[in-house]
Amino acid sequence: MRVVRTLSLLLAVAAIAGCASSHVLTGTPRAPIDPAQVRIYHGPPPGHYEEIAILNTSSGALTYGEQNKTDSVLQKLRNEAASLGANGVLFQGTADGERSGGVSVGGGLGRGGGRSFSAAGVGVDISPRQKYASGIAIWVADPPPAAPAGQVPPVR
């Protein structure tokens, strides 16, 4: 029973670590804010901003669909930036991970207690390819107003 509990704990820690985001501080962090206040910028925002950290993240190991993977990494970038007090992420881009799936076939024969037995099995890995993203957590002194839902903000 103790072995099962220890193994379960190790698997849970590995699963959580696989979904983690990371950062490297390049500036001074601030007090954490709500992730909903963090905006994603695809180019430098107008006005003054300060870099806080370089961010890296990946979609979950079981996230399917390109849009879901993109939404996942963007939300993780927002969460990590918010934990550092950044109100913006200067998006650097995404990349697809290597495909690690495959099919395995195995078999075995054995003898025990005067009886012989055999077994066969097939394993299929259906885990999707992960998406990786990076960005720079920034604090924008005077962020431009957000565009209403469904509208594209004007280009300045």
By the 10 Å C-beta count (0-12 exposed, 13-18 middle, 19+ buried), 27 is classed as middle
User: CATH: 3.30.110, 1.10.260, 1.10.3470, 1.20.120. Which one for 20-97+130-144?
Assistant: 3.30.110
Q: Where are the domains of the chain?
A: 20-97+130-144
Which tens digit of pLDDT belongs to each residue from 22-79?
899 999 999 999 999 999 999 999 889 999 999 999 987 777 888 899 999 999 999 9
3-state per-residue secondary structure call for 46-57: CCCEEEEEEEEE
- pLDDT confidence of residue 1: 53
pTM given for the model: 0.66
149: which 2 tokens? Answer: 């839902």
How confident is residue 3, by pLDDT bands cut at 50, 70 and 90? very low
Mean per-residue pLDDT, 89-113: 75
Residues 72-85: tens digit of each pLDDT: 999 999 999 999 99
